[in-house]
Amino acid sequence: MKITATRALHKTSDPVKMEEPAHGETVGGGAPWQPLRSLIAEQPFFKGFNTHHLQLFTDSAREMHFEPGESILEEGSPATRFYLILEGKVVLGAELEDRGIIPVQTLGPGDDLGWSWLFSPHYMHLSARALVPTRTLFFHGTGLLQQCEEDREFGYRLMKRIVEVATYRLRTTQQRLVECTSMRTLSNP
């Protein structure tokens, strides 16, 4: 078995289509849409960020919904966005050349996904698909990356949080690999 190389390296556009806000609402930190900022501030992922940093997230945010089976992220696609799951379940998977997508981890409320936009070469390393109706906060990662460059404290705090998540996901992936390997003879290369 061989994991496929990033198959969508030549994609240049961000496939996410954004809906227009409802009448009286604005995207991000506009005055009529204050519930979004409150929602962001309530999430454990954002604990420890100051008011200014929470506003940077709010300015980049939008709520999105996904139906069961709907793709959220595709392995190999450009990494330009980041999600925080509010409700629902999402499966992360690695694409294997001869077996399709192999589930690695299931995520739920409070979990985040899509942080590859922080790291070169800025392509997704796993796929993500909604298992049930899923409500998320969507963030424009490319805009947040620019904010990280301009505000080093913000960048440091965000990077520190993402490293915590990455470390946890790496341990989970290792456990999953051990489970899969134990199903096969260890003497086979």
* Confidence bin at 34 (pLDDT 50/70/90): low
Instruction: Tell me the mean pLDDT in the region 163-185.
Output: 77
Instruction: Tell me the mean pLDDT in the region 33-48.
Output: 88
Instruction: Tell me the mean pLDDT in the region 147-160.
Output: 94
**Angle in degrees, CA 72, 58, 68, rounded to 5:** 20
Name the pTM for this structure. Answer: 0.75
pLDDT of residue 31: 45
The angle, 0 to 180 degrees and rounded to 10, between the axes of the packed helices 51-59 and 141-150 is: 150
CA distance 133 to 128: 14
* Confidence bin at 72 (pLDDT 50/70/90): very high
Of 31, 77, 66, nearest in space to 138 by CA? 66
pLDDT digits (tens, 9 = 90+) for 109-133: 999 999 888 888 999 988 999 999 9
Instruction: Tell me the mean pLDDT in the region 136-149.
Output: 94
Residue 98's φ and ψ, nearest 5 degrees, are: -105, 0
The full set of domain ranges for the chain reads 51-180
Residue 151 vs residue 6, higher pLDDT: 151
Residue 87, both tokens:
């409700």
Instruction: Tell me the mean pLDDT in the region 147-176.
Output: 89
Q: Which CATH number applies to 51-180: 2.60.120.10, 1.20.1250.20, 4.10.490.10, 3.40.50.1820?
A: 2.60.120.10
CA distance 68 to 29: 30
Residue 132's CB is within 10 A of a number of other CB atoms, namely 13
Lowest mean pLDDT: which of 103-107, 126-130, 156-160, 182-186?
182-186
* Confidence bin at 57 (pLDDT 50/70/90): very high
pLDDT surpassing 70 at residue 33: no
**Angle in degrees, CA 130, 133, 138, rounded to 5:** 65
CA distance 28 to 60: 6
pLDDT of residue 24: 34
* Mean pLDDT (the chain, rounded): 80
pLDDT of residue 96: 81
pLDDT of residue 88: 98
pLDDT of residue 184: 58
CA distance 27 to 141: 15
CA distance 159 to 57: 14
